[in-house]
Structure 1
Amino acid sequence: MDKIDKKYITLILLHVAIGVLIFYIKPLSKLYGFAILLYGLYYVVKTQNRNNEVLFASAYIVGSEVFLRMTGGNILYEFSKYGVMLFLAFGMYYSGFSKNSIPFWVYLLLLLPGVIVATETLNLESDLRTSIAFNISGPACLGVAAIYTYNRKISFSQLNNLMLTLGLPIVTTVVYLILYTPDLRTILTSTGSNPATSGGFGPNQVATILGLGVFIFFTRLILASKSKLLFAVNLILLFNILYRGLVTFSRGGILTGFVMIFLFLVLLYTNIGSYARAKLYMLFIFVSFALVLTWLYTSSQTGGLIDKRYANQDAMGRTKESKFTGREEILASEIDAFMDSPVFGIGVAKGLEIRKEKTGEIITSHNEISRTFAEHGTMGIIALLIVFFTPIFLYLDNKQNIYIFCFLIFWLMTINHAAMRLAAPAFVYSLSLLKVYIDEENPVHRQ
């Protein structure tokens, strides 16, 4: 075992151990959360961000967010978004930012009218500061992250290491889920998403981060498995993450991970030579076979319920009337709200308040696009267009970043089923703006 293999396996085992310890000693989760913040601050201040250390600190926070939420380890519920903004503010202090990042300054300014309108339209019984902060923290995090990463140079090997930093806490999450989840046959009675298989936490958010983990360890399987041992380790990690993601019965995050993998393979194929393509074919066939086996195993463990879930059927095999678990009604209400106030919108968090007044229930939006339309109006539409088209324009001069469309699609698909409740879509999106250059460790152009 060489030095690189040993270091990698040590990191994996460390994060396995963290998951085991926190499962048996729950209060350690708080200590883990504080340690992430304090060590991150020490790491960044000591290095003064000479090698984009703030990105690595932020990536680790993003990867650990769901785990800390499900184990009660977060300092604040929205700590991850604020933590990312804090670290990237440090990064801008030490390393500045591109003067060409104007589109994202405009993006942040376009969000302000919705906040101002909210101060006038929200009812007095609402906690104004909390309501606005909950809904605006995700978009604000995206804006700050994008300003820092816009055209910032990073090597391809650094980017891969950054993704590993994001993926390590996901390993911890999976270990915790393995220990937490009882025998599936005793708890699965329907095809609905199930908190019992997602650490007692929201299946949607858990599946989102696990889908991202599937993508991360798939890319490591292809690009960073330089020995048979590393290949075996990455393969085991990949299919454990996939299995745990599938049994949450929340589809959005897992489907997003597979779309990212498809885009990655397309861009990788166009960046390698004929000999490497032949090896990629063989690897793809092997991994596809393993994926099928994972699905068959999941199907047997769930008594065929996973097949019905992805076929949009109930436990009896009947096709469900709604493909989106009733979210169409929320979408319709947000379109109506946009039609009522098409320029500046109805104000941040007002949509939630309107639904509570009509139904008596607190029903949060799962779709950040329709929420932005309703609460920010035309200003919000322009803001979303800036976010969507900027990476596409940058790709014309940034084709070494073969992950660029993977990161973009993660943001786009995630905000359609999980809004921006996690820091992940904001941070991962910002990675699509990095200016990637090829270094001596780059495996993509190797024959």
Structure 2
Amino acid sequence: MPYSKLVVVHILIGVVVFFIPVFSKLYAAIIALFGFYMVIKNRNANNESLYFAGYIVGAEVFLRMTEGNFGEQYAKYVVMGSLILGMFYRGFSKSAYPYWIFLLLLIPGVILGTFSLNFDTNIRKAITFNIIGPVCLAISAIYCYRRRITLSGLMNIVHAMAFPIVTTVTYLFLYTPSIKDVVTDTQSNFETSGGFGPNQVSTILGLGIFLFFAKVVVMSPGRKARFVDILLLVLVTFRGIVTFSRGGVIAGGIMIFLLLVVLMLFANSRAKSKIISFVVTSIVLLIGIWTYSSVQTGGLIDKRYANQDARGRVKESKLTGREKLIEAELKMFLDNPITGIGVGKNKEYREEMTGIEAASHNEISRMLAEHGLLGVICLLILLITPVVLYLDNRQHIFLLSFVVFWLLTINHAAMRLAAPAFVYALSLLKVSIVEKPAVHRE
């Protein structure tokens, strides 16, 4: 199907779900059934597992905001199921042992959590909520570890993740067509986020900003498709900004910066001139998008990014109170440095310590608090391995951007979504450019 028609299809999905909400469940079921069917039919000969997993990652926020998920962790289970099935057909690298070690090091914390959680706590739910993200990351990483893929194949994964984000943005415009009517302060805005968590909506839209930018700069499938991608880039950026949740948008911007640095280092002079030309165009577009966003929000978006309240007063907290959660989890780690407090226990422990009842927003401090010294080792594995692989994987132009997306996202949104786990794993792919690299393809 032509690219423009695929975009239209995903716009129509957003429209249909908005007017007929029950269709969201059907959409979620179709994704899973069709995805597993394609993996089985082709025996994962062309990495169908990755495309399928990428698509559900892009669709997760939309499905959750429209109550299409079959359970809160539906996307993570589908991602893991897809990749496990893919490994069944095509195996995995024997040298992926760092992530097998990572997976094994999670077990003691799970066992400790089982015995330490309060009697009246839903133990299965508490543990699953906190451990499913790292497990999803481990399985995704084992699948991707040094698995060979071409740049065009990697771009197909980018396309797969990007299409459902079109659906998400369509739904957001229908949900709040007038930004002026719903923005009254500088807090993260649920109305502009489709009635769902602004932090998570911002995360997936920030990823979308990067995906559409990468498509335009690296490999849009034709002139018409490039124009469509630029238009979508503008719309996704606008909707990301007006969620008033900064984390995802800032992460997307840093990812783009890193991609441009890599491209400028390795591109030829002709490609560099095209990159510079598009960067200038992008800056002009960004100024226009920001100006429009500022007008639509009555200047409140400017105050939000300046860390001010609606009256222009600088807020005491730069992290909307999350630093208190981080401080509490670091204290849990210092009090229990060897074993940690056990998976799922941090919420109970925090409430006992501070009276604050809140789940963790930071995966790094959570890993330290719940897993102790083993959590430190797990984090070192996650940080060091992609860097080491990059020494022999210079053609993976997205590697640094993908790792940074994971790192920034887990610092403000933990691993609520499958996106940071899956995108991190994509950094482990062994990418080769089998054709002469170009900035644009006509």
* 1:372 alignment partner in structure 2: 367
1:337 matched to 2:345: no
Q: For residues 220 and 390 of structure 2, what CA distance do their matches in structure 1 show?
A: 27
* 2:50 alignment partner in structure 1: 55
- Alignment size in residue pairs: 442
The SS at the match of 1:154 is strand
Deviations 1:46-88 (A, max 9, x none): 0000011100110011000000000010011101111111111
Contact 1:271 1:444 in 2 (8 A): no
AA aligned opposite 1:47: N
Aligned-pair CA distance for 1:444: 4.9
The SS at the match of 1:443 is coil
Q: For residues 243 and 146 of structure 2, what CA distance do their matches in structure 1 show?
A: 37
1:326 matched to 2:321: yes
Deviations 1:25-46 (A, max 9, x none): 0000000000011111111100
The one of 286, 294, 309 aligned to 1:291: 286
* 2:150 alignment partner in structure 1: 155
1:94 matched to 2:89: yes
Q: For residues 443 and 277 of structure 1, what CA distance do their matches in structure 2 show?
A: 10
The SS at the match of 1:428 is helix
* 1:26 alignment partner in structure 2: 21
TM-score by length of 2: 0.98
Contact 2:271 2:438 in 1 (8 A): no
Q: For residues 142 and 364 of structure 1, what CA distance do their matches in structure 2 show?
A: 20
* 1:236 alignment partner in structure 2: 231
1:247 matched to 2:242: yes
Q: For residues 358 and 199 of structure 1, what CA distance do their matches in structure 2 show?
A: 34
AA aligned opposite 1:197: T
Identity %: 54
1:165 matched to 2:178: no
The runs of 4+ residues in structure 1 deviating greater than 4 Å are 358-361
The one of 33, 39, 48 aligned to 1:38: 33
Aligned-pair CA distance for 1:227: 4.1
Aligned-pair CA distance for 1:356: 3.2
1:304 matched to 2:299: yes
The within-5 A match list for 1:268-417 is 268-358=263-353, 362-417=357-412
1:145 matched to 2:144: no
Superposition RMSD in Å: 1.5
The within-5 A match list for 1:191-202 is 191-202=186-197
* 1:80 alignment partner in structure 2: 75
Unpaired stretches in structure 1, ≥5 consecutive residues: 1-5
Unpaired stretches in structure 2, ≥5 consecutive residues: none
The SS at the match of 1:300 is helix
Contact 1:373 1:380 in 2 (8 A): yes
Aligned-pair CA distance for 1:442: 4.5
* 1:3 alignment partner in structure 2: none
Aligned-pair CA distance for 1:319: 0.3
The SS at the match of 1:187 is coil
Q: For residues 406 and 233 of structure 2, what CA distance do their matches in structure 1 show?
A: 21
Aligned-pair CA distance for 1:183: 2.1
* 2:202 alignment partner in structure 1: 207
